[in-house]
Homo-oligomer: A and B are copies of this chain.
Amino acid sequence: MTPDPATVGREFSTAVVMFHDAVADRLGLSAVDHKALGVVMRDGPITASRLAAELRMKPSAVTGLVDRLVAAGYVGRTPDPTDRRRVLISAHAGRRPDLGAVFGRLGAAMAELAADYRPEELAVILDYLGRATTVMREQTARLHQE
């Protein structure tokens, strides 16, 4: 039987979440802290308040969260030169090796998987993933604002 798209999507999603948690564990971070690290890596230097909004946490909670990420060496804190009330948080190269090792293995496995597809098929897959990312972000925003 052909698996229906909804099931494939749900199971893929569960697998992603469980992998994400396993990585967090490996990095010595909580799931929330790892998620925050993802946001920081994605949105480059980001202010504490924007990070708080993104994560739907209070600024005070973000202070502690960033403390932990800084202590672990994953991010850095620098005052915003244009507004010194602000703090810019950016992904730091510190423990990037750990991170690289973890994702290196995944990357290799994924590359092996990709080898089974033709270039034009891979282009379609990448295109889809990029657009699906946008859809998921929109749906996440919708869930929050409704």
User: Which of A's residues lie within 8 Å of B, judged by CB?
Assistant: 3, 5-6, 8-23, 25-26, 31-32, 35, 38-39, 41-42, 56, 102-103, 105-107, 109-110, 113-114, 116-117, 121, 124-126, 128-133, 135-140, 142-144
* Bound form: Cα–Cα A135–B18 in Å: 12
Copies of this chain in the oligomer: 2
Q: Which of the residues B38, B106, B131, B142 comes within 8 Å of A139, measured between beta carbons?
A: B106
Instruction: Tell whether, in the assembled complex, residue A140 and residue B22 are in contact, meaning their CB atoms are under 8 Å apart.
Output: yes
Instruction: Tell whether, in the assembled complex, residue A124 and residue B130 are in contact, meaning their CB atoms are under 8 Å apart.
Output: no
Contacts of A142 in B (CB 8 A): 105
Shortest A144–chain B CB gap in Å is: 6
Instruction: Tell whether, in the assembled complex, residue B22 and residue A133 are in contact, meaning their CB atoms are under 8 Å apart.
Output: no
Instruction: Tell whether, in the assembled complex, residue A125 and residue B126 are in contact, meaning their CB atoms are under 8 Å apart.
Output: no
Instruction: Tell whether, in the assembled complex, residue B132 and residue A5 are in contact, meaning their CB atoms are under 8 Å apart.
Output: no
Q: Which of the residues B38, B56, B110, B139 comes within 8 Å of A109, measured between beta carbons?
A: B139
Which chain B residue has the least Cβ–Cβ distance from A4? B126
Contacts of A41 in B (CB 8 A): 10
Instruction: Tell whether, in the assembled complex, residue A14 and residue B31 are in contact, meaning their CB atoms are under 8 Å apart.
Output: no
Instruction: Tell whether, in the assembled complex, residue B136 and residue A15 are in contact, meaning their CB atoms are under 8 Å apart.
Output: yes
Instruction: Tell whether, in the assembled complex, residue B113 and residue A6 are in contact, meaning their CB atoms are under 8 Å apart.
Output: no
Shortest A116–chain B CB gap in Å is: 8
Instruction: Tell whether, in the assembled complex, residue B18 and residue A35 are in contact, meaning their CB atoms are under 8 Å apart.
Output: yes
Instruction: Tell whether, in the assembled complex, residue A35 and residue B14 are in contact, meaning their CB atoms are under 8 Å apart.
Output: yes
Which chain B residue has the least Cβ–Cβ distance from A137? B15
